[in-house]
Chain A
Amino acid sequence: MDPVLSGVCGTFLVFILLSLGMPIAFSMMLAGFLGISFLTSVDAALPVLARTVYETSSHYPYTVIPLFVVMGGFAGSSGMTRQLYAAFDKWLRVLPGGLGIATIVACAGFAGVSGSSVATAAAMGTVAIPEMNRFHYSPKLSAGTVAAGGTLGFLIPPSIGFVVYGMLTEQSIGKLLIAGIVPGLLLALAYIIVIVSWVKINPEVAPSSPDPVSWRDKFAALLPVWEPLMIFLIVMGGIYFGFFTPTEAGGIGATMLFLVALSKRKLNWPVFKTSLLESVSISVMVLFLVAGANVFSTFLALSMIPIKVSTWVVSLEVSRYMILAIIILIYLFLGCFLDAISMMVLTMPVIFPVIINLGFEPVWFGVIAVLMMEAGLLTPPMGLNVFTVAGVAKDVPLESIYRGILPFLISIFVVVLFIILFPKSATFLPNMMLR
């Protein structure tokens, strides 16, 4: 059989296996193993499995993943979520939909010290949703706000999304993380605009606002915001100025948050255990997806599909933006039933060479890809953040959460469009980096 044809069969096999409900990492390992056996020999395919698993799980740059995840766990357990929300609530409550805006800003702040998006949504949901209920916000608005705000964790560094993209495409993880800052802030701004215009058009969704507070209280509430802000500045500043690598930044960030949680006496054994368990299970899940993808990419490379596809796409007589639009649509479709990391791991081996051959900038495309993964966290029927919020706001039906998310989802596409039209908005910061 022709290698390309067997590559196509292998790809179908992965999709069949994963739609049967087999863990995605194992599906890719199995299909990759069978494919390599078919194209070379079983003897050549057997050691690939064990070698890839060892190389992935002992690859030094990947230590950043458990460290970034545990940062979020320590930050949450030291009470930063509550403090951030309390502070921004006091400043922003007078605006239309002020509690929603405070939620978005607090999510952005928490995203600055946390690597995982679902953790952000869960942590903020338990704080912000009861508060918005108390002031009779429409559940559509409040649940939509929290689910959307949670996605900021995926874009604003530290972010697992950029780490995985960097690993799969061999791009500088440091540059990618820095590139996420401006688009992350843009997206937060877009969410705020959504909330304000929603409340302006239909004031019933946010009927009342809490009374304004005195300036004294406002400034007093700002005090605890310094902790996460300082940690964010040290971690990202260190990467930006080349003082340390992203991995070392993860170590420093985790240590600082660990010490903060310890000093506040918030870190008892159950909380500590939960943070570590979360870190271990997310890291194992991500690294096994990467290991599975590496086994599968070995097979795909043997089948020559990535090269053939990218030369074919480049030979097409259409604008490269047309192809980019198709890729974005593919991500939108896949996002409906795959989670963010799986989507990245499944598509990058084929899509990344296409992007490079079309002459797009890899760091810039990383931002677009991560934004599309965020959209995938919100799209029905399998929006991961939506389920998380539904778990917190138990009385709100899933349909109204999805309806509440729609305007935020549209604003993600507006930001994607903005970054396509003005690529510099994503790339000027990383391009100014010293190394």
Chain B
Amino acid sequence: MGRNGTIIFWIQRVNRSVCYAGMLLLVPLMLLTSADVIGRAALARPIPGIVELSSYMLDVFILLGLAYTQQVKGHVRVSMLTSRLPQRAQQSLEIVVTLLSLFIMVLLAWQGWVVGMEETAVSDMLRIPQRPFKLLVGVAAILLCLELVVDLVSAVTAGIRSA
């Protein structure tokens, strides 16, 4: 494993760990929702701010899983047409498509930062600031960009090897 290999290994490992950290939020999300319904029905005491808390938890859950979903190729794509092309054309297309994805995700990372820094609002009941959760859009997009760079490197390497 050369230097590239080591970097790729760490990028994928970090994105996997980030995803694991985020996905555990599903447990408090489901338990708090149930507790809220039971508390409301049995004791007339709902959990204050449950909707805000759940929204923020969903935000973290989804955004931290973004790069990992790319790693396992979980974002749906149509392979029916490209899979019939000769290998060479497939490899070139893969590079083009990854570059286009990278372009839009770099914009998202940049704008996630800009839009996040402008944010000063807090949530209605618990007064939790929105800013960190908005900035997370930028962080998630950066991690996704790293994952796309990994894809780009492997597409280029495959192209060189078969040339």
Q: Which residues of B contact A51 (CB under 8 A)?
A: 115
Where chain A touches its partner, the secondary structure class is helix
**In whole angstroms, how far apart are the Cα atoms of A66 and B27 in the complex?**
11
Interface members, chain A 296-348 (any B CB < 8 Å): 337-339, 341-342
Q: Is A351 an interface residue (CB 8 A)?
A: no
Task: Determine whether B62 belongs to the interface, using a CB cutoff of 8 Å to chain A.
Answer: yes
Question: A54-B137, A66-B58 are known contacts. Are A342 and B76 too (CB-CB below 8 A)?
Answer: yes
Give 27 pairs: A residue, B residue, CB < 8 Å, sorted on A. A17-B100, A21-B78, A22-B100, A23-B101, A24-B78, A26-B75, A30-B104, A49-B111, A54-B59, A54-B137, A58-B58, A60-B58, A62-B58, A63-B33, A67-B33, A243-B41, A248-B33, A250-B30, A251-B37, A254-B26, A277-B19, A280-B62, A280-B68, A283-B62, A288-B69, A288-B75, A337-B78
Partner of B69 from the list A24, A248, A250, A281 (CB cut-off 8 Å) is A281
Contacts A49-B108, A53-B108, A280-B61 given; does A21 touch B82 at CB 8 Å: yes
Sorted nearest first, the 7 A-B pairs with minimum C-beta distance are: A251-B33, A23-B75, A58-B59, A50-B111, A280-B65, A281-B74, A57-B62
Q: Is the CB of B26 within 8 A of A276?
A: yes
B77 and A23 contact, CB distance less than 8 A: yes
Knowing A338-B78, A339-B76, say if A47 contacts B65 (CB, 8 Å). no
The answer to whether A57 and B59 have CB atoms under 8 Å apart is yes
List the B residue with the shortest CB-CB distance to A23.
B75
Instruction: Report how far A54 CA is from B101 CA in the complex, Å.
Output: 18
Question: B125-140 toward A: CB 8 Å interface, digit per residue (1/0)?
Answer: 0000000011001100
Given contacts A22-B77, A53-B108, A66-B29, 9 further A-B contacts (CB under 8 A): A54-B112, A54-B137, A63-B57, A248-B36, A258-B30, A277-B19, A281-B68, A284-B62, A382-B80
CB–CB A285/B75 < 8 A? yes
CB-nearest residue of chain B to A31: B104
Report Cα–Cα, A20/B95, bound state, in Å.
11
Contacts of B41 in A (CB 8 A): 243
Contact B61 A66, beta carbon cutoff 8 Å:
yes
Residues of A within 8 A of B72 (CB): 281
- The answer, yes or no, to whether B114 is at the interface (CB within 8 Å) is yes
Q: In the assembled complex, which residues on chain B have CB atoms less than 8 Å from the CB atom of A58?
A: 55-56, 58-59, 133
Contact A21:B79 (CB < 8 A) given known A46-B107, A243-B41, A284-B65: yes
CA distance A23 to B19 in the complex (A): 20
Cβ contacts under 8 Å, A287 to chain B:
62
Interface size on B, residues (CB 8 A): 62
Count, A-B residue pairs, CB within 8 A:
193
Query: DSSP majority for the B interface?
Result: helix
Asked whether A254 lies within 8 Å of B30 as measured between CB atoms, the reply is yes
Q: Considering the chains assembled together, what is the distance between the CA atoms of A29 and B66 in angstroms?
A: 15
Please judge, given known A-B contacts A22-B101, A30-B104, A251-B37, whether A341 and B76 are in contact too, CB under 8 Å: yes
Flag if B66 contacts A288 (CB, 8 Å): yes
Contacts of A264 on B, CB cut-off 8 Å? none
Asked if A50 meets B37 with Cβ closer than 8 Å, knowing A26-B104, A59-B55, the reply is no
Cβ-defined contact, B96 with A63, below 8 A:
no
Bound complex: CA A182 to CA B41 (Å): 29
Does B93 touch A at the CB level, under 8 Å? Answer: yes
Determine how close the nearest CB of chain B comes to the CB of A304; give it in whole angstroms.
24
The answer to the question of A41 belonging to the interface, with a C-beta cut-off of 8 Å to chain B, is no
CB of A70 within 8 Å of the partner chain = yes
CA distance A149 to B20 in the complex (A): 32
Q: How far is the CA of A254 from the CA of B114 in the complex (A)?
A: 37
B63 proximal to A (CB < 8 A): yes
A6 within 8 Å of B (CB atoms): no
The answer to whether A20 and B62 have CB atoms under 8 Å apart is: no
Task: Give, as a whole number of angstroms, the nearest-CB distance from B14 to chain A.
Answer: 16
Contacts of A49 in B (CB 8 A): 104, 107-108, 111
- Closest Cβ of chain A to B112, distance in Å, is 5
Measured CB to CB, the closest approach of chain B to A382, in angstroms, equals: 5
Complex: A339 Cα to B78 Cα, angstroms: 9
A10 and B101 CA atoms in complex are apart in Å by: 17
CA distance A58 to B24 in the complex (A): 17
Partner of B30, one of A23, A59, A70, A273: A70
* Bound: A23/B151 CA distance, A: 13
